[in-house]
Structures are given as C-alpha cells and as structure tokens.
Amino acid sequence: MFNFNKKKLKPGHMLLLVLAVIIPTTIQSNHARAEQTLGPQNTARTITHTIQSQFPEQQRHISVHLPKGYADNADTRYPVLYILDAETNMDFTIAVVDFLSEGGQIPAMIIVGIHADGTRDVDYLPKLTDPESLKTGLSGEANHFLTSIENEVIPLVQKTYRTTDFRLISGHSYGGLFVTYALTQNPKLFAGYFAQSPYFMEAITRFSLTRLDVMLQNNPDMQGAYFMTLGNEPLLAKGFAQVGNLLKDKAPKSMLYASTHQSGRDHMQTRMIGIYEALEQYFAKDWPIIAAIESGNITAHFDGLASKYGTRPRYELNAFVQAIQGLLQTGKVGPGTELSQEFVNQHPDSPFSHFLLFNAYAMGGNRDNALREVNAAIKIIDETPEPSMEMKQLYPQLKQVQKQLGGE
C-alpha cells in the first residue's frame, strides 16, 4: 500500500511500482519484437518497381521496403538506405534495420534494394584504361550505373515515397567496390558509404587509391562516412589495408571512417555483420536515447536530430521504458520527467507512457500532474476493447493510486 499525503507526494514512492509492472512488459515486448523481425510479413511492406534506364538502355528493378507504421504516420518522412544486390542482401538487411530501429539504435528507414539483374560485372566495376589493368578483364561501366542511381533511382524513390534527403548506400564484394567508387566520384550523394569485403584486387586497388586520394584532397571539409569491413580473405587483405592506410593518413577530421576485420568470417559472412556494425556505428553518437540523456537537454537534442536526419526520432515503447527506468532508479527526476513527456508525446495512446510520466511526477512531488497521468492511463485501459495482460495487471494498482491521490 502506498501512502500519499494529498497535498504533497513523498519523492521516491512510485519506483517500486515501476519495477513490479513494467519489467514483465519489457520482457514480453522483446519476445514479440523478435518474432516480428524474423517473420515472413516483411514482404507485405515491399513494393517492386521497374525502371527503363537510359544509362545504358536496359530495365532495372528496385524493391522498396517501407518501415513499420509507414501507412499510419502520414506526416512522417524517413531516411533511405540503398542496398546493392537486392536478390541476396535485401532480406537480412530488413531484419537488421527492423531490429536496430525498434531497439532505438537507429532511425526507421525506407530500404531500397537495387537488383543486380545479371549485369553486376558491368555495373559495379570501374572502367580501367591502362593496358596492364585491362589484362585482368576486370573493367566495367560503373560510371553509367552511378548516373542511373543518381538520375533515375533516387528521383523515383523521392517522388513516390515520403523520404528525407538523408541517404546511405551499402554493397558487398563487387558491390563494396562500387560503393567505394561512388564515394570517390560523388562524395555528397550519400551521407554514408558502407562496403563489406570490397573487391580490392591489385589493379582495381590502384585505381581506387588514385581516385580516393584525389577526392580527399578536393574535399577537405567532407562530412560523410565510409565504413569497410573484411573477413579472413587473404586475396583482398593487401588492398583493404592500403585503402585503410590512405584514409588514416589523409581523411579530414570531419569525415567518419573505419576499417574493421571480422575474425573467423568468410567472404559471404561479412555481409550481414558488416551492415549491422556500420549502421550501429554510424548512428551511435547521437541517435540512441542515451545520447539525448547525456546531452543535458533532451528536447534540444531531439530537435537537432530532426534537423540532421530530416525526421524527429521515434522510439518503441521498450526503448523508452528502459531509459526512463534507469533515470528514475538513479534519482534523475528532471531528465526522467522530460523523457517521460517525450514518451507520452510519441505514444499518447499507451497507458504505460502515462504511467511512467506519473512516476516521474510522483518522484518529484507533483501531485496534480501525477494524478492527471494516472487518470489518463486508466481512461486508455477503460476504452481498450481487449486490454493486454499487462494492462490488466496495471489497472488495479492505478485505481488504488488514483484513490489515494484523491481522484475519482
């Protein structure tokens, strides 16, 4: 039984209720999230388009995967992640993005998978001109493919879907080589370039180093990012190291870059781990809720993210619950209250968002606001046709608290 003075709450009384009710909800949310991420319903949010390309004249196919809640949030715009070799890389990329975004580590994103369509050798390889390099037979028309992406694929996606201007691109093997080529040719087309096991054979490495060196010299204030990863791949290791050393020596301080070795992984295994690590690393400094808390001004931090990425952060219930619990448990009532208010703003129809804000107000001794949030949580449950088990467990405790606060 909680004992409240009707004029003023005693700080700290509500924390035990947070732990008793919310933790079971958190565990169930994690279980449900795993089922949703790995389930077959991913395809229900994927639309395929055919483009009659002029670079060169041929048909190209793209698959556009929309984030969960896209249809229900008509005013929300989303960053875009472009993936090469959609035939083999799309499914696990969807799982990775869903998992990280639902955990509050990265924003929800539109994923655009560009199909190779049998022409990847031509599309992904740069055009080599020196006689020695031509002997390898590894020469293509990557310049045409990059033009197609810039002038055909991106405009179609922007016209058809609610995108922001924030874009990333990822590719593996030949695709990783193309991503590197795209960086050297148009470093501002994407905010981040992710290359898994880029095909840095000797002749292509010479080409890539030359182009990369020129690009870095011409862009001393570059704001973009380039992340590459390699497994146990001896044939590619020398070129990988050479590109990494060039970045270490000449990349401007404003540029994010990393070259990572995946010990024990083969050429194909670097794909999923590489995109996971690149996304997590790219957004680690500012997107997770902990970054907002550490900023000292949660609201201003969220405003800054909206300006940078073109969309205001939206987090799942589980991410909010864990962060707010941590703040309240350590007595950080001010930031706990601010974050709880953001929770309510993003999830106004959840009784748990109002419940946590109630706890924050209670710990701060604000009786009137605490009662308001208790009433809001009770009203939501009352109006829910089929309340969840967690709602049913929470309801009698809310009614008890409401009575003690002098409510209905």
Domains in the chain, CATH or no CATH each = 15-32+315-404 (1.25.40.10), 45-283 (3.40.50.1820)
What does the chain come to in residues? Answer: 408
Instruction: Give pLDDT tens digits for 152-182.
Output: 999 999 999 999 999 999 999 999 999 999 9
Determine contact, residues 354/328, Cβ cutoff 8 Å. no
Banded pLDDT at 69 (limits 50, 70, 90): confident
Q: In what order do the strands lie in the sheet with 192-196?
A: 46-54, 57-65, 110-114, 78-84, 163-172, 192-196, 225-230, 256-261
What pLDDT does residue 10 have? 52
What is the CB-side half-sphere exposure of residue 395 using CA atoms within 13 A?
13
Instruction: Give pLDDT tens digits for 332-374.
Output: 999 999 999 999 999 999 999 999 999 999 999 999 999 999 9
Instruction: Give pLDDT tens digits for 139-153.
Output: 789 999 999 999 999
Burial (0-12, 13-18, 19+ Cβ within 10 Å), 408? exposed
What pLDDT does residue 2 have? 39
Instruction: Give pLDDT tens digits for 78-110.
Output: 999 999 999 999 999 999 999 999 888 999 999
Determine contact, residues 197/172, Cβ cutoff 8 Å. yes
Banded pLDDT at 316 (limits 50, 70, 90): confident
Whether 273 shows a pLDDT value over 80: the answer reads yes
Q: CA nearest 113: which of 97, 99, 102, 129?
A: 97
Q: CA nearest 135: which of 74, 201, 78?
A: 201
Banded pLDDT at 21 (limits 50, 70, 90): very low
Instruction: Give pLDDT tens digits for 318-329.
Output: 889 989 999 999
Percentage of residues of the chain with pLDDT beyond 90? 75
Instruction: Give pLDDT tens digits for 293-309.
Output: 999 999 999 999 999 99
What is the CB-side half-sphere exposure of residue 249 using CA atoms within 13 A?
10
What pLDDT does residue 72 have? 87
167: β partners: 80
